Structure 1
Amino acid sequence: MEILRYVAFATDPAGGNPAGVVLDATGLDDATMLATAAEVGYSETAFVVSSDDGVLGVRYFSPLAEVPFCGHATIALAVAHADRHGAGPLHLRTNAGPVPVTTSVADEGTTVATLVSVAPRTTPLAEADQAELLSALRWSADELDPALPPRVAYAGAWHPVLAAADRSRLADLDYDMPALSDLMRRRDWTTVDLVWRESPTVFHARNPFPPGGVVEDPATGAAAAAFGGYLRDLELVGVPTTLTIHQGDDMGRPSVITVSVPGDRDSGIGITGAAVRI
């Protein structure tokens, strides 16, 4: 088995979110994939199996569990595939559904990938869950931005969305990992999407990921797609629009995620980012 290591949503290996990529996972069982992801130690490793119809089957494993979809590992595997076979369109079959991806080479030689998520959904965040979530985060309700109401958003995986009223609140992340992990496991949440709005189309985000055995994700494409759907569903942005999400800065791993939000509410959300091999 050849294990590649890429950083997604950055052009510098010191930034972005690292992902493991296995471009040929034919014959690997679940236990082997989970053990491999744990050995790699990144928030996710993507395992790819080719099929006769040209569609690539993809499964994503964190060090502790399988997840239905992972945005940054998808960007990483697409760029790894382009580096090996040339840029162009890919058709992925994930546990969350079909995900088309396109890769291209930018003027400076960096390979960039764009995925289109499955159709997003947004649901209310129950008051009891919100209270438990705030308690685990050690946040208070009066620190939230009332213009961006709490919800649970989906674009391949579920993420509660909480918006901080102040950038300093987002910068100060010190949560109760066992309590948050327990809540997220019970609710089947993948990461918590904590955001702060800098301008109408520029956001900063942090994503705790304790169910995966990771304190925090430096760049979370699945959460960014879910957040794009959340903004569209709640009519918090005009559509179509393009958003920029900065993530990882507070961790010392700056990442930039470009989010394309089409006007059609049934359409998936576009996620674009560069990736480079480590």
Structure 2
Amino acid sequence: MTTVLRYAAFTTDPAGGNKAGVVPDATGLTDQQMLALAAELGYSETAFLTAVPGTADRRYQVRYFAPTLEVPFCGHATVAAAVAVAHAEGPGELVFETKAGTVPVQVAEQDGVLHATLTSVEPEVLPIGAEEVEQALAALGWAAADLDPELPPRIAYAGAHHLVLAVRTRERLADLAYDFDGLAAFMTARDLVTLQLVWRESETVFHVRDPFPVGGVVEDPATGAAAAAFGAYLRELGGAGESAELTLHQGEDLGSPGLLRVSLVAGDSRVRVTGAAVPLPEAAS
């Protein structure tokens, strides 16, 4: 029988954050079985771990499935999976081999709660055409005048591709009722996993939302992969120094608040994302 663990990531409260499934031993599971299990759980992603034998470190092959498809990388399921391993084996260093590349993860205890810090794969920030931005805005029901001119649209990557759209006001961010099928088609054509919708509260504090229709989910409550991509985006645009600590609030508009810490380190282009994770009451099945 396959063991399935259930965690809430980027929160210390099981009622908050983003829920993830974790299969600590996916040995022998087929792609179809993993997809079916992820669909049955219904979380935005489920992480499937297979230990890599013959290595000196704690190294796992990890695959991530949403209810409708496999994604190359998922931040909140990485945090959940790393904490799940640490609950079984103790905190410390882990290495996750994902389809996006190698992701080191450090798990440490803070105030009685386990926190995981993932280090992204090499990030990239790409331009996007004005016509494509118009199409995305049309699907969202937003106008070009809603956008923050100081944070222009870009496609950002740190394991998965995300379209970053920043708005002028918190009220605009809160008012989200988009065309699910239209946005899914737009994103599928451009290999986008989520849209990273952003409002800047201060130089280092941001509120974000992430529609995820390509995964069969209206909205992701806390998105570590997009947070890593956003860190790279902000540094690329000069909105953060070579070293910076950013705070991202996500999930408040869904009644499931999460907290993501993004770290930029001088001399290292990769981005670090930190969050807590806690087991759900029905943690195993």
| Shorter-chain TM-score range | over 0.9
2:96 matched residue in structure 1 = 92
Corresponding position: 1:260 with 2:263: yes
Task: Supply the RMSD in Å over aligned alpha carbons.
Answer: 0.7
2:78 matched residue in structure 1 = 74
1:1-278 to 2 correspondences below 5 Å: 1-52=2-53, 53=55, 54-106=58-110, 108-264=111-267, 267-278=269-280
- 1:91-140 Cα distance to aligned partner (Å, 9 max, x none): 1100000000000111x210010000001100001122111100000000
- 1:135-172 Cα distance to aligned partner (Å, 9 max, x none): 00000000100000000000000000000101000000
SS at match of 2:230: helix
Aligned partner of 1:62: which letter?
Answer: A
Shift of 1:238: 1.9
2:283 matched residue in structure 1 = none
Could you list the structure 1 runs, at least 4 aligned residues long, displaced by more than 3 angstroms after superposition. none
Structure 1 CA distance for aligned equivalents of residues 19 and 35 of structure 2 = 17
Structure 1 CA distance for aligned equivalents of residues 157 and 143 of structure 2 = 24
- 1:157-192 Cα distance to aligned partner (Å, 9 max, x none): 000000010100000001000000001111110000
SS at match of 1:146: coil
Aligned partner of 1:77: which letter?
Answer: A
Structure 1 CA distance for aligned equivalents of residues 270 and 239 of structure 2 = 17
SS at match of 1:192: strand
Runs (5+) with no aligned partner, structure 2: 281-285
Structure 1 CA distance for aligned equivalents of residues 219 and 265 of structure 2 = 29
Shift of 1:268: 1.1
Shift of 1:252: 0.2
Runs (5+) with no aligned partner, structure 1: none
Structure 2 CA distance for aligned equivalents of residues 2 and 177 of structure 1 = 33
Greater alpha carbon shift after TM alignment, 175-184 vs 46-55: 46-55
Aligned residues: 276
Greater alpha carbon shift after TM alignment, 57-66 vs 236-245: 236-245
Aligned partner of 1:50: which letter?
Answer: A
SS at match of 1:160: strand
TM-score (norm 2): 0.96
Structure 2 CA distance for aligned equivalents of residues 91 and 165 of structure 1 = 39
Which structure carries more strand by proportion? Answer: 2
Structure 2 CA distance for aligned equivalents of residues 64 and 14 of structure 1 = 24
- 1:67-104 Cα distance to aligned partner (Å, 9 max, x none): 00000000000000000111010011000000000001
- 1:235-265 Cα distance to aligned partner (Å, 9 max, x none): 111220000000000000000000001233x
- 1:28-80 Cα distance to aligned partner (Å, 9 max, x none): 01000000000010000000001112420000000000000000000000000
SS at match of 1:139: coil
Aligned partner of 1:136: which letter?
Answer: A
Structure 1 CA distance for aligned equivalents of residues 266 and 195 of structure 2 = 25
